[in-house]
Structure 1
Amino acid sequence: MTLTTSATHAEVRPDDFTRQRPVPENLVPDLNDVNAFDRDKIATAVIARYAPWARERASTLGSRVWDPKVLKAARDAQRHTPELRTLDRVGNEIYDVDFHPAYHELMGLGFGSGVHSLAWTADQPGAHSARAVLSYLWNQVDGSTACPLGMAYASIPVLRSQPEFAPFAEAIAAEAYDPADVPIGQKKSSGTIGYFMTEKQGGSDLRANVTVARPVGKRGPGETYLVNGHKWFASVPMSDVYLTVAQTEGGVSCLLIPRRLPDGRLNNIKINRLKDKLGNKANASSEIEYHDTVAYLVGEEGKGIRTILSSAEHTRLDFAVGSAGLMRAALSQALHYNDYRTAFGAPLSHLPIQAPVLADLALEWAGAAHLGFRVAHAEDHQGDVSEALVSRLLTPVAKFWNCRRVSGVTEEVIQSIGGNAYIEEHPCPRYYREAPLNAIWEGTSNMMVMDVGRVLARQPKAIEPVLDEIRPVAGEHPLLAAALTEIDELITAPEDTTRYLVTKIALAVQASLLVQRAPTVVADAFIASRLGAGWGPGYGTLRGVDYQAIIDYARLD
């Protein structure tokens, strides 16, 4: 039974208990048709500072983030998950994955917007910063398609490093999407790429892989090899080409594998099944086997780990920025709901019990976004020794911290909205399931911590350019100065205190960036809470700060 009423307050007497009272105007509409870029104070500032030439492009994509049609496509792609077909009607092996049309719609929008390639195709200053803003916006749309977009971004410089792979790089960099399952050379203007690395016995330890490759003729970069083995997590198996690693006579090596050979035949790759994942469901993640699969050597034999790590620098940056984007999406939903909904005579966002929670979430987003964009800025200046060190150290720091924090943000946002955010029609369940994955793929949290520890153990001075940015700010903020002193002590034995050290570095960098880039009230609240005493562990324990001023910084207005 559905209770409806057309009666007005005047038509229902207080003593009439035969009809439902009129429903007050307190039902929150969907967050729609708000430009996620134009009204985002951090993203617009990044573009204005580093890449003003990209403003129109960012604004165009920002206009689609809260477009009802795009939101529906994102939901439909998650509800109607990919399906594997191993055989055709008469029994021929095809190993095809069928996607809902909504998935292809999202892929077309993402690739067509240059989310994957702007950093490499724009001959303009600040291209990595501009591309990071696009990725930040895209991760507010959909995490499943962010995976192939991010892999394309990371693969382009690897493929460009060898002349024989230039056609592949050109196709993957194109701002277009063609889902046709044909050899990449037959596609008119685009291509996609997957990363097939981990195996069931090795996980993140690629040196433990048992997949092997042997040369058909000569050995060396660009030469043809045959691969035999398996991969346990192979995302986007319908990609046109894949980067993989295998044991060769020279050691662990990186190879490029086409899904189809130039004559159209499948390249002896069997897809055994698709993973039933917690989230990221529109993205087909598979288990595959190689059976004399044709591949081409990328780089030198035995240098595969180094090649993949050069690529991982970009995927890890992408997940740090993407996690900030996911926080932004969740926070936008929370602020929209709490500003609209009223209780006890005021908007929820102004209630003493709720305002500290929203302000705390806003601080978390602000710190994460500034940290991610700082790493992207370093990528724009790799020719500078100091910036290269900043990138080398802060990439795993940002990946560790942002990806760890996003899960708590999405959960708290659901709490701030209530039951309506726990229903699958709302975007929040999708954010909640997506969040943990960012901390897992392209290196788990412990892998990031180990990476930082390894850098500091080998080259303790690598942290100096990072600390040099913080020191001028710390002079006016005793809590930040104390954090710097502690970091100086911790780096003397980084392998014994690494997770705590990485946490301190992340917080100190975020605090410094907020002092430089955010309103004073935001920076002061962040420093007092994250570096002081009496805060946490849950959100909403801020004290003695201007909650509304902090929330205003995060509002899309």
Structure 2
Amino acid sequence: METGIDYGEFESGRHVNYWELDRTLQRELRRVTDTETFEWAEPRLAEFGELIGHTVADNADYVDDHGPELETYDEYGDVQNFVRYPAEQLANEAAVYEAGIVADAFEAPPGRDEPVPFSQYLATLQLLCYADAGFGCPVAMTAGSALVLERFDDGELEPYYRGLVSRDYDGLIEGAMFLTEEQGGSDVGANETTARYDEAADCWRLTGEKWFCSNVDAEGTLALARTEDAPAGTDGLSMFLVPHGDPDEGVMTKGDRRAFEGAPPGDALNDQLYRRLKDKLGTTAVPTGEVEFEDTKAYLVGEQEAGFKQMTEMLNLERLSNAAASCGIMGRALLESRVKAANREAFGKPIEEFPLMREDLVDMTVDYEAATAYVHEVGRLFSERERARRTDESSDELEDTYRLLRLLIPIAKLRTGRMAVDTASYAMEIQGGNGYVDDFVTNRLLRDAQVLPIWEGTENILSLDVVRALEREDAHEPFMRAVEDRLEAVDHPALADAAETVETAYEELLGALAELAEADGEYAQLSAKRLSHYVFEVFTAALLLAEAQSDLEDGNGRTAMVARRFVTTELAERDGRGITGGDRFVLEAFEPIVHHAPVDPETVSETVTADD
């Protein structure tokens, strides 16, 4: 059995192996991956965790102070759309992409006969975001772009797909999605960008403006536009791939761009204008700008007027990626907090020994465990669906998986984005005044976290998507089976009280769902956000209890403590807000939960929860 982690050995959450220190991520990936794949992946994840904890983390701090700069025009006033990157960022890109963070999920890596599950992509992205959530954005969009071309391209864009999934940095192209327009925002159907077919050039030409364009100079950008005579709203949108380079000259890769030793000449570029970069609060590593298309060359992806459907498939992976990034920020914030609390002394002892700090660290840990468990369970379902799609499998079970994903994915992004902000904010407080200073990483973690509730749909937009999933997909049916199957598997005495609380909350949730099914649309919208959080809490509680049951059977009671604390804080009714009950759980469970000390299953039921 593993021993606990002594965080007092570390000076900070830097120059360490993030994979080896994240036993929560290890447990979840082991749970959702078959044994053979996990054993193949584990040494690679350890190597990746070492890379991120040293080289990438160091470079990320430099990039935050010296981010990309846009030079729209050359000295003669000609458009060059040149984004100048610090060498440290280019080094991070080469190291991370060549480690297979995107490629391995689409093309079989060396030593395997098939691609790895998307669960491993999410795990590597989570580790990357320990160091730089800004860089996580281009990685996620590259994966999303590859998914769209894999799904919908008829073969015409094969060279671009090959670039998106390249393991060789010189052969790589990064992806981006230019969806947002100033007048539309989240109302994608209000997009005004138009597309006309140019027979002479044998390509489409886009005209319009895109307002919030992250990874602005990506070599292969997906954009929505409306073709001539297409209907209004989302039904009339088509998806196009817009190259950075002039498509008549072939695919411009990272290696091609480096060969210019500076800005490529204007005639090597596609016709578009990168107007300016946004002066953002955080995520400095990813340049976000405004783009004007004017007869810009583009390629249609798949069928006309199928753009919105293609976008939603892409958003499923993008939103999961956002949730994994949230977990990465939470994990780093938690690590920095654990190290600080173990080393900082006040009044003659480490601050982790004080009851209030113990409660804070226990609850930050439980939040991280809950977020990671939820995200990787949804990642498991996503991986299963993509594997079946690639092999042309179909079944009622896979249809249920799709319906369940329609419910769980927006909630994954909705809840974890908010949790990342809260966790990063409190991690700053644990650092004291240093946490507010640019020289310390918690400052950047909070700035980067703040965009996660915004990217890929705000909390309100996602909540309305949850209501649509329930109304149109009957997503409550597979959800009910998923919760009930897990609760039925829980029978250990140490989990009995918590399981009873979850069962009661589950029945109340079903009552809320039934009432909303009969309510008018306005009231359903008003309740959407509360409902989304309720679904997260019940599903995650059932998931953690099922994991705790399995771990107890395998001889470790730690997950049981995590599950019980989550149920208590999120679902249980506590008299006097927990003050009058004499609850001392966090004091007794601090070492197992925060330091990952092993727990004998026979002692879990004896954990003190109240004074007799």
Per the normalisation by structure 2, the TM-score is 0.80
Aligned: 1:111 with 2:125: no
> Which residues of 2 match residues 202-241 of structure 1 at below 5 A?
202-217=184-199, 224-241=203-220
Equivalent residue for 1:498, pick from 528, 537, 540: 528
Q: Which moved more, 1:54-63 or 1:470-479?
A: 470-479
Q: Give the counterpart of 2:537 among 491, 507, 514.
A: 507
Per the TM alignment, residue 556 of structure 1 is displaced from its structure 2 partner at its CA by 7.5
Whole-angstrom distance in 2 between the partners of 1:537 and 1:351: 21
Evaluate the alpha carbon distance shift between residue 60 and residue 111 of structure 1 in structure 2; reply closer, same or farther with a 3 A threshold: same
Q: What are the equivalent positions in structure 2 for 1:42-191 lying under 5 Å apart? A: 42-49=24-31, 50=33, 51-52=37-38, 53-67=40-54, 69-122=55-108, 123-124=113-114, 127-160=117-150, 161-162=152-153, 163-178=155-170, 189-191=171-173
| Letter aligned with residue 447 of structure 2 | R
Shift of 1:114: 1.9
Q: Separation in 2 of the partners of 1:211 and 1:344?
A: 63
Q: Does 1:427 align with 2:441?
A: yes
- Of residues 581, 585, 596, the one that matches 1:545 is 585
1:500-534 CA-to-partner distances (Å, cap 9, x unmatched) read 11111101111122112242111111101111134
| Structure 1 residue 536: Cα displacement | 12
- Match for 1:299: what amino acid? G
Q: State the partner residue of 1:526.
A: 566
- Encode CA deviations 1:393-451: one digit per residue, 9 max, x unaligned: 11111111111221111111111221122111111011100112111111111111111
SS of 1:37's equivalent? helix
Question: SS where residue 225 of structure 1 aligns?
Answer: strand
Specify every segment of 5 or more residues in structure 2 that has no aligned partner in the other structure, as ranges.
1-7, 231-235, 250-266, 389-397, 489-495, 518-523, 549-558, 598-612
Kept after mapping to 1: 8 A contact 2:355/2:587: no
Tell me which amino acid in the other structure corresponds to 1:31: G
* C-alpha distance in 2 between matches for 1:27 and 1:119: 36
Could you say if the C-alpha distance between residues 267 and 556 of structure 1 is closer, same or farther in structure 2, counting changes exceeding 3 Å? farther
Greater shift, 42-51 or 207-216, is seen at: 42-51
C-alpha displacement of 1:39: 2.6
**2:334 paired with 1:334:** no
Q: Does 2:511 align with 1:489?
A: yes
SS of residue in 1 equivalent to 2:82: strand
**Contact 1:126 1:380 (C-alpha < 8 Å) held by counterparts:** no
Q: Which moved more, 1:110-119 or 1:466-475?
A: 466-475
Alignment partner, residue 464 of structure 1: 477
CA RMSD across the alignment: 2.5
Query: How far apart are residue 469 of structure 1 and its match?
Result: 2.5
Instruction: Tell me which residue corresponds to 1:389.
Output: 403
- In the alignment, which residue of structure 2 is the partner of 1:18? none
CA distance in structure 1 between the partners assigned to 2:483 and 2:300 by the alignment: 43
Q: Percentage identity across aligned positions? A: 28
> In the alignment, residue 65 of structure 1 is paired with which amino acid?
I
Shift of 1:298: 1.1
Counterpart position of 1:14:
none
Q: Deviations over 1:243-298 (max 9, x none)?
A: 00111133211111111113353211101110001111221100010010011111
Query: Contact between 1:273 and 1:286, CA under 8 Å: does it hold in 2?
Result: yes
Which range is displaced more, 40-49 or 202-211? 40-49
* Equivalent position amino acid for 1:483 in 2: A
Give how far 1:542 is off: 11
Shift of 1:474: 4.0
> Are positions 1:323 and 2:336 aligned together?
no
Contact 1:211 1:227 in 2 (8 A): yes
Name the CA distance, whole Å, in 2 between partners of 1:287 and 1:63. 36
Q: Which residue does the alignment assign to 1:365?
A: 368
Give, in angstroms, the shift of residue 331 of structure 1.
0.2
Task: Give the distance between the partners of 1:125 and 1:194, measured in 2 at CA.
Answer: 22
CA drift at 1:314: 0.3
Match of 2:256 in 1: none
Q: Which amino acid aligns with 2:585?
A: V
- Give the partner amino acid of 1:279: G
What secondary structure, in the 3-state scheme, does the structure 2 residue paired with 1:491 have? helix
Deviation string 1:479-498 (CA, Å, 9 cap, x unpaired) is: 21122112212222163421
Whole-angstrom distance in 1 between the partners of 2:444 and 2:575: 29
Aligned residue for 1:4? none
Decide which of 344, 348, 370 is 2:351's aligned counterpart.
Answer: 348
Q: Match of 1:97, as an amino acid?
A: V
Match of 2:238 in 1: 253
Matched to 1:257, the amino acid is V
The whole-number CA distance in structure 2 between the counterparts of 1:550 and 1:303 is 52
> How many angstroms apart in 2 are the aligned matches of 1:416 and 1:474?
36
Residue identity in the other structure for 1:284:
P
Letter in 2 for 1:467: M
Q: Deviations over 1:342-397 (max 9, x none)?
A: 22333211211210011111111110000110111001211423322222211111
More displaced, 398-407 or 90-99? 90-99
Tell me the distance in 2 between the aligned counterparts of 1:542 and 1:286. Answer: 54
Letter in 1 for 2:145: S
Between structures 1 and 2, the one with greater helix share: 2
2:424 to 389, 405, 410: 410
Q: d(CA) in 2 for partners of 1:372 and 1:542? A: 33
Name the CA distance, whole Å, in 2 between partners of 1:216 and 1:479: 63
Q: SS at 1:380's partner residue?
A: helix
Distance 1:542 1:452 in 2: 38
AA aligned to 1:165 is L
The residue type equivalent to 2:483 in the other structure is I
The DSSP-based 3-state class of the residue aligned with 1:214 is strand
Change (3 A) 1:99 1:164: same
Match of 1:114, SS state, is coil
1:223, CA displacement in angstroms? Answer: 6.8
Query: Using the alignment, how far apart are the partners of 1:555 and 1:173 within structure 2?
Result: 38
- C-alpha spacing 1:554/1:175, structure 2 compared with 1 (3 Å): farther
Contact 1:363 1:550 in 2 (8 A): no
Shift of 1:71: 2.4
TM-score, scaled to structure 1: 0.87
Whether contact under 8 Å (1:381, 1:388) holds in the other structure is: no
Q: Does the 8 Å contact 2:359/2:586 carry over to 1?
A: no
User: Following the alignment from structure 1 to structure 2, what is the Cα–Cα distance between the partners of residues 410 and 240?
Assistant: 33
Query: How many angstroms apart in 2 are the aligned matches of 1:155 and 1:90?
Result: 35
| Counterparts of 1:124 and 1:356, CA distance in 2 | 45
2:298 is the counterpart of 1:295 = yes
Tell me how far apart the structure 2 counterparts of residues 542 and 299 of structure 1 sit (CA, whole Å): 62
Task: Give the Cα–Cα distance (whole angstroms) in 1 for the partners of residues 216 and 321 of structure 2.
Answer: 20
Match of 2:604 in 1: none
For the residues of structure 2 that align with 1:47 and 1:479, how far apart are their CA atoms?
27
Counterpart amino acid of 1:469? A
